[in-house]
Amino acid sequence: MSFSCPHYNPATDQCSRVRDLCVCGRPGCVLARNSTFAIPVEVRLREADAQPTGSFPREDTDRDSPDA
């Protein structure tokens, strides 16, 4: 994402302000009042809800371990 937000936690892709997945422009988002988005927030929220949670590998996983 190409924005800067003090509420965004990149490690979890969560917004600490709304306490949910970061979807720019969603209700409660500080970017909602002063930004225009190419894809409406309603569409992006539906897409985010449709994605399974935990689909990204954990960063602390040792992929180079000989046991893997």
Residue range of the domain that includes 17: 8-48
Residue 53 lies in a domain: no
Identify the pLDDT of residue 58.
46
Give the C-alpha separation, 35 to 20, whole Å.
20
Phi and psi angles of residue 41, each rounded to the nearest 5 degrees, phi first: -60, -35
**Does position 55 have pLDDT exceeding 50, yes or no?**
no
Whether 26 is covered by a domain: the verdict is yes
pTM of the model: 0.60
Residues 21-52 pLDDT 10s: 889 888 988 887 788 889 999 999 999 888 77
Q: Does 57 map to a domain?
A: no
Other C-beta atoms closer than 10 Å to the C-beta of 50 total 7
Distances (CA, A) of 36 to 21, 24, 31: 19, 10, 9
Look at residue 59 and tell me if it is in a domain: no
Question: Cα dist. 53→13, 16, 20, 35 in Å?
Answer: 11, 17, 12, 27
| Domains: count for the chain | 1
